[in-house]
Amino acid sequence: MYRYDEFDATFVAGRTAQFSDQVKRRLSGELTEDQFRPLRLMNGLYLQLHAYMLRIAVPYGTLSSKQMRMFAHIARTYDRGYGHFTTRQNIQFNWPKLKDIPKILEELASVEMHAIQTSGNCIRNVTADHFAGAAADEIIDPRPIAEILRQWSSLHPEFSYLPRKFKIAITGAPNDRAAIRFHDIGLQAATNAAGEIGWEVWVGGGLGRTPMIGKLINSFVPNEHLLAYLESIMRVYNRYGRRDNKYKARIKILVHEEGLETIKGQVEAEFAEVRGGVLTLPAEEVDRITAYFAPPQFTAQPATKIDVAYQSIIDPAYGRWLDHNINSHREAGYASVTISLKPVGGAPGDATDKQMDDIADIAQRYAFDELRVTHEQNLVLPHVAVADLRAVYEALVATGLAEGNTGLITDMICCPGLDFCALANARSIPLAQEISRKFAQPERQAEIGDLKIKISGCINACGHHHVGHIGILGVEKKGGELYQITLGGDATESASVGKIIGPGFEAEAVPGAIETLVDTYISKRESAGETFIQAYRRLGEAPFKEALYGAA
């Protein structure tokens, strides 16, 4: 993991002091809320429906047990005993008091954490594949570059007041687990003809009101020019991105309206000017940062495989957990474990202070002290010896987080919705809880197989509904909450945006409608091996539409 040196520590301390001064000026009335808003947003502080909400960056989703314990401490001391892990690989606290914020930031700084640029119209926390450095399919660990991007983008003087927020995601694997095609900039490791590793650059993806799949703007940018290339994109966006309408201000609209070729021409012209300049990234620097992310000291393991079928007979719940929550590791005898934050009936992504402490203990004991936050609102122990899986499972059972449902219908992404959010039109957590209860039976979930449901309480799409195999969008209609259903979304390398299937449903009718869609899929699928999204792509929307609304 990356470790702060003196410079980083001084930087964060300086930023904490700066923000503390801004809080003080707000409390004294010297700053108006209008003036304070962009300043607090730049530091992850939102004013929500009921209280301030503080969003803390988990850079590229990687954290240590010590940092997780700090989250537990903050939840216990300054909040109501829980935190919420988000689709941006961050954590949010929903009930801090403004006067406590400087203290919280100070405590965070003591474990090398901060809330810098977790909101505001700036370059946000860079997100990455949650199996980075562990996954068997990886070309290269993207985290060293992600860390370099974190540094480059932190309090960037030119790009702190962009037209709108700006999100960068990076993956080093061909299987895209970071949804890079739905980010303002997506980076995917690529190899050129000479066998060198560099980056495909995708631009203009996003969700929200106007979902767009990112477009390939450059198929190979080597490490040394990556910062110069990204700065070129940022400058073009800062200068020409729309500022007349906040709903049309993201770079996806600029790319869409101007056309990829125009934007590409502008970026290339800018790149020609800055290429080879001060932003050139020396190989030694990449190596130096990479050294921080050196794999842990793996040892030869007695067991390299586990007989899931056998375990499933002995202990079905454990079998399900092995089946769904284990990801293959590049190192023989090791596996990555997903800790599901989606217990049946729970609020997706929430963890209590006690659970966070327990998870920290498990990571320290069994997983080289390392944890990840996934953009699907789960946690990951990236490096666990196969021989320790049972012990890890039992520790998770003890803390109530052993649900073996990763990738299944109850592993939903869900935004905070009208229960917390000032923007929401509809509740989403209660709906997720209802659906989760409806499909609580493990056998039923296993029968359905891989199916991603994603729920957003408003058009801003924090719950990524556009890329859910089944997406649910809460809207307000005639003073009531109504839910639209979309089908066919996909956030991976085979990216697609879901389509609205028909008129919306009342909240009570949604779980039933989901069940109808699921039953339709099961009855029409070619085999148990054909997933929902595959079947949908083969069948089209007609049979699903007919099942929901009757024959046309």
Partner 1 sequence: MALPKLAHTPAAHDKLRALGILALNGMFDEMDAVGVLRQAATDVLPGDLAIVSSFGADSAVLLHLVAQVDPSLPVYFLETGKHFAETLDYVETLKKHLGLINVHAIHPNAADVQRFDPNGDLWETDPDSCCHIRKTEPLEPITEQYGGWVTGRKRFQTKERGVLPHFELTSDDRIKVNPLAYFNDADVNQYKIDHGLPEHPLFAKGYKSIGCAPCTSVVAEGEDPRAGRWRGLNKKECGIHFDFNGAIASPMTAATRHTLWKDGAFIADPFHEWADDSDPATASYKHVPLAVFLANRDTFLANPHPLGLLVVPGDRIEDVEADLGRFASIAIKFPAFSDGRGYSTARLLSERFNYSGEIRAVGDVLQDQIPLMRRCGINALVVTHEPTRAALLENRLPEVAIFYQPVGTTEVPVGTRPFLRRVS
Site of interaction with partner 1 (CB under 8 A): 5, 7, 10-11, 14-15, 18, 21-22, 25, 30, 35, 38-39, 121, 148, 151-152, 154-162, 235, 238-239, 243, 273, 278-282, 285, 288
For residues 153 and 456, which CB has a smaller minimum distance to partner 1 in the complex?
Answer: 153
For residues 35 and 494, which CB has a smaller minimum distance to partner 1 in the complex?
Answer: 35
For residues 23 and 487, which CB has a smaller minimum distance to partner 1 in the complex?
Answer: 23
Q: The tokens of 29 are what?
A: 């009335």
Strand partners of residue 475:
482
Helix ranges restricted to H, 293-418: 308-314, 316-325, 353-366, 389-399
Q: For residue 46, which of 126, 112, 110, 115 has the smallest C-alpha distance?
A: 115
For residues 273 and 307, which CB has a smaller minimum distance to partner 1 in the complex?
Answer: 273
For residues 200 and 285, which CB has a smaller minimum distance to partner 1 in the complex?
Answer: 285
Provide, rounded to whole angstroms, the least separation between the CB of residue 161 and partner 1.
3
Q: The tokens of 347 are what?
A: 């609020």
For residues 148 and 367, which CB has a smaller minimum distance to partner 1 in the complex?
Answer: 148
For residues 280 and 364, which CB has a smaller minimum distance to partner 1 in the complex?
Answer: 280
Kind of pairing, strands 499-500 and 197-203? unpaired
364 within 8 A of 69, measured Cβ to Cβ: no
Provide, rounded to whole angstroms, the least separation between the CB of residue 42 and partner 1.
9
Neighbour count for residue 204 (Cβ, 10 Å): 26
For residues 285 and 361, which CB has a smaller minimum distance to partner 1 in the complex?
Answer: 285
Measured CA to CA, the distance from residue 481 to residue 426 in angstroms comes to: 5
Provide, rounded to whole angstroms, the least separation between the CB of residue 15 and partner 1.
5
Measured CA to CA, the distance from residue 56 to residue 509 in angstroms comes to: 36
Q: For residue 267, which of 251, 283, 248 has the smallest C-alpha distance?
A: 251
Provide, rounded to whole angstroms, the least separation between the CB of residue 128 and partner 1.
19
SS3 215: strand
Q: Over 454-492, what HEC string results? A: EEECCCCCCCCHHHCCEEEEEEEECCEEEEEEEECCECC
130 within 8 A of 89, measured Cβ to Cβ: yes
Provide, rounded to whole angstroms, the least separation between the CB of residue 97 and partner 1.
21
Provide, rounded to whole angstroms, the least separation between the CB of residue 126 and partner 1.
13
Radius of gyration of the chain (CA): 23
Q: For residue 352, which of 391, 399, 398 has the smallest C-alpha distance?
A: 399
Provide, rounded to whole angstroms, the least separation between the CB of residue 100 and partner 1.
20
Provide, rounded to whole angstroms, the least separation between the CB of residue 280 and partner 1.
7
